[in-house]
Amino acid sequence: MACAELDSLVAIYTQLSNAVAAKKPALPEETPDVSGQIDVSGQIPGQVPEPVSEPVLEPVLEPVPESVPEPVPESISKPVPEQFVAEKSRLLPVGDVNTDVNQDRAAEPFALALLKSLAENLAPETPSMPHTQASRPIAELEQAVEQNPDSFSAHSNLGQALLEQGKIEPAIAALQRSLDLNPDFALTHERMGFARLQQKQFDAAIAAFQRALELAPTAVVSQDGMGKVLLEKGQLDAALNYFRRALELDRTYLPALYNYGLAALRKGDLDIAIEIFNYFTKRSPQDAKAHESLGRAYLRQQRLTEAIAAFQRAVELNPEFFWAYQGLGEACLQNQQLDEARQALQQTIALKPDLAPAYNALGQVNLQQKQLDQARQTFQQAIQLDPNFVQAYSGLGHASLQQGQFDEAQQAFQQAIQLDPNFVQAHNGLGHTYLQQGQLDQALNTFQRIVELDQKWPAGYNGLGRAYLRQGQLDAAIAALNRALELDPNHTPSRTLLEQAKARANAVTG
């Protein structure tokens, strides 16, 4: 292995292990609490509307939910485990790994052991799913079931093959028949876990993986599968625990490392995520999903040029990859490449007409290009697809405000706030709507609420200063605008408004 690649691997696993070992995590022994939601993040800039009678307001960032990636392609991971013909649970060799998951482990030895294992056992061209082999044809497996109707293994193998082809309901029926014949076959519980995961029946998936792990505690794919369920549920620390456990059990099981990168991305451990995804793009340069995931991590870090390059590479490799087009559109939007953003988002919608974040981002493009009718239409389409899409309601409010449709704007902002009371962009839009309507007390209360929610956002203090100025409270206006400029000395709207406030104050004392 080349020295540069060796160094890259050292960096990956040293950072990964340090980040995890610092928390000294323990795997949950009971059914974990999975009531959380998938963490959504990533921001794309919107435009605060220009009031009819007020100075131009500054742009704000409108968060767009980060899309849940498609299942990792086979070159990195497979959504279902491999085929087994032996009628027993799999117990992979664990070597010197201590099975006491509550024991503290030094980060450096773990990182070096994992690095050594990868360096010795895997050449760069080795498939990332070394334990996977293709299932036999379904017709052959159906014949096996007919010949041996009481064979739990035959039913389990058929369920696996059906699952790999996306035939979820028939797969579940076959797997359930296997469990009826032998409820203690760990591999079938594992497969059932993946089937329930694909159905997004997360509690059922957790129950299946837990039973698999009770029967086969060292089953690597079950550990990884449980982590994937928790990742979908937004239980990121618990997911990371399971992925790390899988890597400890089998240092060559790279799907767990990839999923660790996804969890790190959603948690905001972006440096670790970037190291992991960079490793996979070098290892499998033709894998579009690896490039798309790397683009997501760069986008979260606001490394927009690198994000755009990663997304572009993903769509070159897979022109049907709508998530990569959506990421490309968002990155171009943040980078103010609006025409390129529009093209990418339109391609996203052509490939995936029901993807609400794509409509929301396209609405932002329309909003910034002052195509307000189109902006309202695309935001409304996003809301139709996802009635709880906070950012789409806020975008609709901004478009309506810019068109002078104050009642519609107020209604949209209030709906956004009802869905997320802490979403300051919606409060900001509502405050400016109140100003336009001459409802100064409501405007002042709204901007005061904004600076309570975010004491470091210049736009909030700008709005507060504007409201005080409209009420004639010049000293309070000057104080608020000075605070905005302390937070951002280049905040032009606040500087312009401060000059107006000082001029009025001088005229009064004059």
The percent of residues above 90 in pLDDT, for the chain, comes to: 67
| pLDDT computed for residue 33 by the predictor | 31
Residue 84 DSSP code: -
Give the closest residue to 505 by CA, choosing from 466, 462, 476.
476
Stronger pLDDT, 39 or 61, i.e. the higher one:
61
Lowest-pLDDT range of 21-35, 264-278, 321-335:
21-35
In a domain, 248, yes or no: yes
What interhelical angle do 220-233 and 186-198 show, nearest 10? 20
- Name the phi and psi angles at 44, rounded to 5: -130, 140
| CATH number of the domain encompassing residue 190 | 1.25.40.10
pTM exceeding 0.75: no
Read off the amino acid at residue 124: P
Terminal Cα-to-Cα distance of the chain (whole angstroms): 78
* pLDDT at residue 187 greater than cutoff 50: yes
How far apart are the C-alpha atoms of 40 and 357, rounded to whole Å?
11
pLDDT tens for residues 354-365?
999 999 999 999
Local structure of 60: helix, strand or coil? strand
Give the closest residue to 5 by CA, choosing from 263, 278, 253, 209.
278
In a domain, 254, yes or no: yes
Q: Collect all residues with Cβ–Cβ distance below 8 Å to 247 and sequence separation of at least 6.
A: 114, 253, 256, 257, 260
Number of domains in the chain: 1
How far apart are the C-alpha atoms of 145 and 158, rounded to whole Å?
8
How far apart are the C-alpha atoms of 29 and 235, rounded to whole Å?
15
* pLDDT at residue 16 greater than cutoff 60: no
* pLDDT at residue 161 greater than cutoff 90: yes
Q: Mean pLDDT over all residues of the chain? A: 79
426, 417 Cβ separation under 8 angstroms: yes
pLDDT tens for residues 335-376?
999 999 999 999 999 999 999 999 999 999 999 999 999 999
Given pLDDT bands bounded at 50, 70 and 90, which one contains residue 283?
A: confident
Tokens representing 211 are: 């039973």
- Helices H / strands E in the chain, number of each: 24, 2
In a domain, 138, yes or no: yes
Q: Which domain holds residue 167?
A: 71-106+129-267
Q: DSSP assignment of 191-250, as one string?
A: HHHHHHHHTT-HHHHHHHHHHHHHH-TT-HHHHHHHHHHHHHHT-HHHHHHHHHHHHHH-
In a domain, 220, yes or no: yes
Q: Collect all residues with Cβ–Cβ distance below 8 Å to 111 and sequence separation of at least 6.
A: 10, 13, 14, 16, 17, 18
Q: Collect all residues with Cβ–Cβ distance below 8 Å to 367 and sequence separation of at least 6.
A: 46, 47, 375, 395, 398, 399, 402
How far apart are the C-alpha atoms of 79 and 376, rounded to whole Å?
38
How far apart are the C-alpha atoms of 89 and 179, rounded to whole Å?
13
In a domain, 450, yes or no: no
In a domain, 158, yes or no: yes
| pLDDT computed for residue 346 by the predictor | 98
